[in-house]
Amino acid sequence: MLETQVISRLALFFGTTWQVNGIVISAMLAALLLANAVVERIPKLAAPKWNLGALLAGLALAYWVPFERIGGPPAIAGTVAIVVFSVPVVFAGMLFASQFCAAASKSAALGANLLGAVAGGLMENLSLLLGMRALLLIAIGVYAVAGIGLWRNRSPEWTRVDI
């Protein structure tokens, strides 16, 4: 849903072109690559409760930033939009990577991820009824429910306190 959000926002600044789509998709893939690198190299930063909190904060920031009011050339507003929308992707990637490493069944974890991707794709259609910004509120709600599920599961990584 975030990719759709940033593509639609950048299309307002630059038009709907293959170049805009390529930039957005590359930024999202780079954010996921960064998330995996962080989880691999600095596992202490992969604490689920902090990643979930940062993810929800990043989504809230993306919801509240008025991209249409950013002054200057469109390239600056577009860069700000890419950065703002990439931050939640980094934390979502870190959350997934850390939970995937701890999963007892990797195939079940990948299946759940695929099911979530399909559900997210279907929820993108709600933008036709509710508008593009509403997708961010839906994403916040979905991740909050996932966080409740993580909390109820109470994996050792969730409840561990490092001193």
Assess whether pLDDT exceeds 60 at residue 103: yes
pTM: 0.81
Structural domain that includes position 79:
2-159
- Count: domains in the chain: 1
Q: What confidence tier does 162 reach under pLDDT thresholds 50, 70, 90?
A: very low
Q: What confidence tier does 155 reach under pLDDT thresholds 50, 70, 90?
A: low
Q: What is the pLDDT of residues 46-70, one digit of tens each?
A: 788 889 999 999 999 989 988 778 7
> Of 81, 98, 105, which is closest to residue 12 (Cα–Cα)?
81
Tokens of 111: 């299946």
Residue the block writes with tokens 């170049």: 19
